[in-house]
Amino acid sequence: MALVAVVGANASENIVAEPEPMEYVKVCDAFGKGFFYIPGTETCLRFNGYIRSEFIYTDNGAVETTDWRYRGRLNVDARNDTDWGMLKSVLRFQGNGRGGGDGNLEITKAMASLGGLSFGYSTIFFSNVHDDGWQKAAFDAYYLDDEAVYLQYTYEFEGAGFSATVGVQDTVSVVAAPAGSNVYDPYLGAKYEGEWGNVSGEFAGSAIYDSAADEWAWKASALIKANDSWSLKGWYAADNGGTKYVTGGSAPAVSWEWGVDVVYNLNDAFLVWAGYTDADFVDAERYGFGARWNPVSGLSIRPEAIFGPNFSQARLRVVRSF
């Protein structure tokens, strides 16, 4: 009996609690590459971004300058399906710096959308609907590419390739708002995307009312792609010279600006581009050309050059994206 008691006591002392089963991260392929499920939820998450180093040489006819600067960007993208459509949110952290100093850190995007309704802080629709910025570093001409707090709704005509948008944003006008008040700018626009054999196209139009300037600005653009190698884009923006939306405030008296660029993909790793822009002020013409080389996946090297009356600039950007 004593032996049994001892054996029983030892057995009870050696009991080990079973660990809780581990929940591994699962791939989420519903929204594209790079997403994974947040454990215990139906929400899919993706992290991406880049780091960039850029050297710039500028000659404005009177003085020559150089600038060496850097940027870091991190995007956090969360999505899940609901009965009302996809619920999406994007948070972007970005820091810029130059020389030997530490960079700043800012939130340059904090937006959410449910179906066609979108709100938060992001690139303004007046720029975004035309896909401004592309992959070129310098040749964005004088055109405004700014961010603002906004609320908008986009309706997509299913199967037609056509969408229409209405919204309102906090102003980015060069005209100051009255003291103690805010000024909000309504906007609208439309976009069409289609394919015709080996050719595809994107056509967009937008208009925004600058409430502080009491004036409308508008823009139209067209992008044509052929055989996965060539693309040609042209655009025209105008107002009556009083808003910031045509040239970003660099020349407030400007009432129009236009531009065109062509891109040729030699292969998956290398492309070249050339472009031209002009606006209605003296010496506004700019010619540009450049290249983008991806020696390995996730790394690109981008030399560029811009020329105009009494102006020249050369840039070299090295970008590691992930």
Output the average pLDDT for the chain.
85
Q: Domains, the chain, ranges and CATH?
A: 69-262 (2.40.160)
pLDDT at 176: 45
Alpha carbon distance 240, 246 (integer Å): 10
Find the mean pLDDT for residues 38-61.
94
Model confidence at 154, pLDDT cuts 50, 70, 90, reads very high
Q: Which region holds residue 161: left if phi is over 0, alpha if psi is between -120 and 50, else beta?
A: left
DSSP string covering 96-147, please? Answer: EEETTSPPP-EEEEEEEEETTEEEEEEE-HHHHTTTTT-S-SS--TT----E
Find the mean pLDDT for residues 177-189.
75
Model confidence at 131, pLDDT cuts 50, 70, 90, reads confident
Distances (CA, A) of 151 to 116, 120, 169, 309: 11, 7, 6, 41
- Asked whether the predicted pLDDT for residue 199 surpasses 80, the reply is yes
Alpha carbon distance 211, 185 (integer Å): 6
Model confidence at 312, pLDDT cuts 50, 70, 90, reads very high
Write the DSSP symbol of residue 24.
Answer: -
Distances (CA, A) of 29 to 32, 33, 82, 277, 279: 5, 6, 16, 41, 45
Alpha carbon distance 211, 173 (integer Å): 8
Alpha carbon distance 225, 201 (integer Å): 6
Q: How many CB atoms lie within 10 A of CB 126?
A: 29
Model confidence at 146, pLDDT cuts 50, 70, 90, reads confident
- Asked whether the predicted pLDDT for residue 135 surpasses 50, the reply is no
pLDDT digits (tens, 9 = 90+) for 247-279: 665 555 678 888 888 999 999 999 999 989 888
Give residues with Cβ within 8 angstroms of 171, minimum separation 6: 148, 177, 182, 183, 184, 185, 210, 211, 212
pLDDT digits (tens, 9 = 90+) for 105-125: 999 999 999 999 999 999 889
241 residue type, one letter = G
